[in-house]
């Protein structure tokens, strides 16, 4: 029997569905760590309770019964629980925020203008209280907790290396391949044809980012386009993320004069969102940490140009897997950005069949 401690998140739905598809739910106990009476994102009948509650402990039971324990999103508030328990094998499935957004690792995530105009002035009472709660209840357990991790699960070798160099993981820790699937497998995107979705305007349409998140460095991107007189109509999704940052973008992107700027704040179902991506000529994801890879891989599968920050630590993994990406400087060259071959590369790396094989190896 395996134990999975999961967050209330849309990716948990797909994880659960793949476990069911393989017929191995009886070998995997899934518990949602949640303090809410009702889930916000999870649609399935999965038990859940707050960490450190008697109810949570009753769902978990005796940890010695589990051959493997998987923590999906290892947040600092879990340090104490991990440190005070014993495991036959402990696995950490990286989500991103549980690595790059840690107080000790939240460095070099912002380009110059984003940091100067937004980050250094950002202050949140809730964030301060959260950090104080971590400091006084869990920080003393940090080293012991990470020292118990046997395997780190991610599709990126670069992400595993980042974790090893920035956190007190033991020397015995190993990397295992795993990825979270979108609501639908990438192969289902075949029904979306390039025909009928091409931009009809002489000015290209470019999507910048996937959310209202400062680590996407929106203002630095738009400033680069302005300084280099690059013409484009810009679509900036802000339907989820930091509302204050979205308001900041509304006030501070008015300087761009080489095309329209539209902040897209409406919620879109998956099918509508794919059509939205198809309507663009390219997407710019200017984060330095891995982020928004669902969007990146969808665009790559659709063979749309993906423009990344050259400082992004994950580009080496893209190169290793023959996934074509571009630097923002390529936009100055006034040439068509060719991406032929990305569909095949995405399929080979992240196909549903490969995922099921991975699930079988890890969770059976």
**pLDDT tens readout for residues 224-267:** 999 999 999 999 999 988 999 999 999 999 999 999 999 999 98
**Confidence band, pLDDT 50/70/90 cuts, at residue 32:** very high
pLDDT at residue number 319: 96
| Helices within the chain (DSSP H only) | 10-22, 54-60, 79-83, 97-100, 112-117, 125-137, 142-147, 157-166, 218-227, 243-252, 270-278, 293-301, 315-320, 342-350, 352-363
Quick check: do 2-182+352-363 and 186-350 share a fold?
Answer: yes
Quote the pTM value.
Answer: 0.87
The Cα–Cα gap between 287 and 14 comes to 25
CA angle 179, 181, 183 (to 5 degrees): 165
Which pLDDT score, from 0 to 100, does residue 333 have? 66
- For 235, the 3-state DSSP assignment is strand
Give the whole-angstrom CA distance, residue 71 versus residue 94: 9
Contact yes or no for 304/279 (Cβ under 8 A): no
Where is 208: in which H helix or E strand?
A: strand 205-208
Sheet-wide strand order for 326-327: 261-264, 233-237, 205-208, 282-285, 306-308, 326-327
pLDDT tens digits for 257-298? 999 999 999 989 888 999 999 999 999 999 999 999 989 999
Q: What is the fold, at CATH topology level, of the domain defined by 2-182+352-363?
A: Rossmann fold (3.40.50)
| Beta-ladder partners of 326 | 307
- For residue 196, pLDDT over 50 is answered with no
Q: Name the residue with higher pLDDT: 314 or 193.
A: 314
pLDDT tens for each residue of 327-359:
999 998 656 777 778 999 999 999 999 999 999
Query: In this structure, are residues 226 and 122 in contact, taking their beta carbons and an 8 Å threshold?
Result: no
Give pLDDT, residue 129: 65
Using 50, 70 and 90 to split pLDDT, how confident is the model at 105? low
What pLDDT, on the 0 to 100 scale, is given for residue 28?
98
- Which residues, in sequence order, are bridge partners of residue 183? none
Quote the distance between the C-alpha of residue 10 and its chain's center.
12
DSSP letter string, 19-85: HHHHT-GGGEEEEEE--SSS-SS--S---EE-TTSHHHHHHH--GGG-SEEEEES--GGGHHHHHTS
Helix (H, G, I), strand (E, B) or coil at 146: helix
**Which CATH entry fits the domain spanning 186-350: 3.40.47.10, 3.40.50.300, 3.30.2000.10, 3.40.50.2000?**
3.40.50.2000
pLDDT of 123 higher than 80: no
Per-residue pLDDT of 49-70, as tens digits, reads: 999 999 999 999 999 999 999 9
Domain positions in the chain are 2-182+352-363, 186-350
- The DSSP code for 168 is -
What is the chain's mean pLDDT, rounded?
A: 90
* pLDDT beyond 80 at 133: no
- Burial string for 188-222 (b: 16+ CB within 10 Å, else e) reads ebeebeeeebeeeeeebbbbbbbbbbbbbbbbbbb
Q: Is pLDDT larger for residue 240 or for residue 22?
A: 22
């Amino acid at each position: 029997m395996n134990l999975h401690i999961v967050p209330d998140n849309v990716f948990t739905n797909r994880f659960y569905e793949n476990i069911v598809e393989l017929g191995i739910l009886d070998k995997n106990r899934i518990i949602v760590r949640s303090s809410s009476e009702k889930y916000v994102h999870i649609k399935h009948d999965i038990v859940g309770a707050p960490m450190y509650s008697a109810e949570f402990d009753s769902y978990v039971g005796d940890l010695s019964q589990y051959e493997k324990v998987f923590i999906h999103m290892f947040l600092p508030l879990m340090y104490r629980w991990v440190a005070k328990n014993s495991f036959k094998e402990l696995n950490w499935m990286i989500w991103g925020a549980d690595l790059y957004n840690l107080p000790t690792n939240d460095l070099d995530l912002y380009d110059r203008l984003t940091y100067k105009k937004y980050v250094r002035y950002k202050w949140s009472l809730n964030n301060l209280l959260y950090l104080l709660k971590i400091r006084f209840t869990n920080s003393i357990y940090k080293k012991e907790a990470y020292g118990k991790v046997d395997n780190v699960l991610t599709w990126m070798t670069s992400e595993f290396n980042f974790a090893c160099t920035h956190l007190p993981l033991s020397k015995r820790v190993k990397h295992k391949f795993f990825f979270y699937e979108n609501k639908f497998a990438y192969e289902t995107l075949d029904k979306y044809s390039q025909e009928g979705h091409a931009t009809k305007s002489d000015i290209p349409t470019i999507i910048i980012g996937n959310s209202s998140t400062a680590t996407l460095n929106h203002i630095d991107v738009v400033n680069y386009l302005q300084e280099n007189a690059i013409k484009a109509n810009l679509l900036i999704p802000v339907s989820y993320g930091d509302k204050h940052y979205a308001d900041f973008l509304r006030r501070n992107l008015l300087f761009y004069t080489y095309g329209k700027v539209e902040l897209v704040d409406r919620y879109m179902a998956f099918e509508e969102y794919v059509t939205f991506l198809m309507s663009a000529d390219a997407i710019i994801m200017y984060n330095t940490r891995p982020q928004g890879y669902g969007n990146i891989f969808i665009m790559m599968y659709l063979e749309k140009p993906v423009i990344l920050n050259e400082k992004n630590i994950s580009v080496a993994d893209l190169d290793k897997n023959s996934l074509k990406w571009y630097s923002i400087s390529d936009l100055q060259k006034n040439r068509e950005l060719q991406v032929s071959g990305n569909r095949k590369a995405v399929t080979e790396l992240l196909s549903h069949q490969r995922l099921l094989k991975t699930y079988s190896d890890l969770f059976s």
